[in-house]
Amino acid sequence: MTSFTVNLDESSKAGKAFLAMAETFFKDVKGLEIIKNPVASDKTTAKEKKHPATNNIPNAETVKAINDIKNGVGLTKTKNSKDLFKSLGI
């Protein structure tokens, strides 16, 4: 997955035109999401300053781990909790 960031002034003529074009051409396209994230002002809360998709995008290491688990790579199977703790050295 690749992120593409565009900073534009929505009040400018070019900004309005670009935003209208992007929303028109890409509104029903699968695999593409337009996220409006206004620039935070001093009065904006910490929750509002956070990019809305930040926690939803796994990094490469996480994607690899998810794929490894799906393919059974690196899994340790145990019979019960006692066997699990023994394999962990606890």
pLDDT tens for 24-74 read 888 788 888 777 766 655 555 555 555 555 556 778 898 899 899 999 898
Confidence band of 79 (pLDDT split at 50, 70, 90): very high
Answer yes or no: is 57 within a domain: no
Confidence band of 75 (pLDDT split at 50, 70, 90): confident
Answer yes or no: is 17 within a domain: yes
pLDDT at 83 over 80: yes
37 burial via Cβ count (<10 Å: 0-12, 13-18, 19+)? middle
Answer yes or no: is 18 within a domain: yes
| pLDDT the model gives residue 10 | 80
Answer yes or no: is 87 within a domain: no
Answer yes or no: is 29 within a domain: yes
Q: Which of 58, 40, 61, 59 is nearest to 49 (CA)?
A: 40
Q: How many domains does the chain have?
A: 1
pTM above 0.85, yes or no: no
| pLDDT the model gives residue 34 | 75
Residue ranges making up the domain that contains 13: 8-36
